[in-house]
A = this chain, B = another copy of it.
Amino acid sequence: MTDFEECYKAVLKLRGIKSTKQRLAVLEVLCKSDALTAEEIFLNLRDSFLNLSLSTVYRILDTLSKNSVVTKSGLMEGGRALYEITPAAHRHNLICEKCHKITPLRDCPLAEYENDIEKKTGYAISGHKLEVYGICPNCK
Chain A interface residues (CB < 8 Å from chain B): 74-76, 79, 81, 94, 96-97, 103, 105, 109-110, 112-114, 117-118, 121-137, 140
Contact = CB atoms under 8 A, between A and B. Distances in A.
Contacts of A128: 130-133
Contact of A131 (B76, B97, B129): B129
B105 A132 contact: no
Question: For chain A, what secondary structure do more than half of its interface residues adopt (helix, strand, loop), or is it mixed?
Answer: mixed
Copy number in this complex? 2
Contact of A75 (B74, B96, B124, B137): B74
A96 B81 CA distance: 21
B136 A122 contact: yes
Contacts of A126: 97, 133-135
B117 A123 contact: no
